[in-house]
């Protein structure tokens, strides 16, 4: 595959860092962005130490100024955008602070639109672009106590369908990968939050809440998500756009 410049949001840890590391191994240049610049720099430094090509930038996807500053600082044109930045808050709606609810949607839906909007003109000018949204099983189904997260992740699917139509006149695609649980610090925190909210032990949260709906019964890996992203970047996927790629261990086929 042609080496690409890939900008990944929320890549200072978790899924974003995992995807960046795997794609750098395939010879791509990765732009590690995160609200915490120190975390982004640590990931980029490790990639470079392993022989890969990477740079780190601070990026707040909820800020127009931050987006503009980051894109003006990136070392080369961005071919691929991976919208991964995210966070979680677990609470019944009656106890869910509305400012927190709005913030989750700002990061995971409005922020996706903000950054995509900023990068689209350059992609159009160069005649190539790939936008990969990291959705969730919660783009497709719901769980209690996650109203803001589920609403934002469901919104990604509609956003992707509209953008697929708006970019159909050029070699730009947009798709959403929807994994079930990936073992990350965010999921570790969810396990603790769910245990507290449901009043059950943490190991029961894993076995009875997270993995029980999956016939495969295992966490998703970074390698799987990076491999799917690489496929969506490839010429073989040039006519796959506006779709959801479910990585759910059989959850939604039941």
Match 């996650």 to its residue by tokens. Answer: 146
| 145 in active site | no
Q: For residue 182, give the DSSP letter.
A: B
What does the alpha-carbon distance between residue 152 and residue 112 come to, in Å, rounded to a whole number? 10
Q: Which tokens in the block code for residue 115?
A: 């950054």
Tell me whether strands 53-58 and 244-247 are parallel, antiparallel or unpaired. Answer: unpaired
Rounded Cα distance between 178 and 180, Å, is 7
What gap in Å lies between CA 52 and CA 38, rounded to an integer? 19
Catalytic residue among 149, 219, 222, 251: 149
Burial class (CB in 10 A: 0-12, 13-18, 19+), 160: buried
Residues assigned a catalytic role: 149
């Amino acid at each position: 595959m042609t080496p690409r410049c890939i900008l990944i949001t929320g890549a200072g840890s978790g899924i974003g860092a995992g995807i960046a590391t795997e794609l750098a191994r395939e010879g791509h240049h990765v732009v590690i962005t995160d609200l915490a610049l120190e975390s982004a720099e640590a990931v980029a430094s490790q990639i470079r130490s392993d022989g890969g090509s990477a740079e780190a930038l601070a990026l707040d996807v909820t800020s127009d100024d931050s987006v503009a500053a980051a894109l003006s600082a990136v070392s080369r044109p961005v071919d691929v955008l991976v919208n991964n930045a995210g966070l979680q808050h677990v609470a019944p709606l009656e106890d869910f602070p509305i400012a927190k609810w709005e913030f989750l949607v700002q990061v995971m839906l409005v922020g996706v639109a903000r950054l995509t909007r900023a990068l689209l003109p350059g992609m159009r000018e160069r005649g190539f672009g790939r936008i990969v949204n990291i959705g969730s099983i919660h783009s497709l189904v719901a769980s209690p106590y996650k109203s803001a997260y589920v609403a934002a992740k469901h919104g990604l699917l509609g956003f992707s369908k509209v953008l697929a139509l708006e970019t159909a006149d050029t070699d730009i695609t947009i798709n959403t990968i929807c994994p079930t649980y990936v073992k990350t610090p965010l999921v570790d925190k969810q396990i603790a939050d769910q245990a507290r909210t449901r009043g059950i032990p943490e190991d029961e949260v894993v076995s009875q809440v997270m993995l029980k709906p999956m016939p495969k019964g295992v966490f998703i890996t970074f390698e799987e998500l990076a491999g799917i992203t690489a496929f969506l970047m490839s010429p073989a996927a040039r006519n796959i756009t506006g779709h959801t790629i479910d990585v759910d261990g059989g959850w939604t086929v039941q």
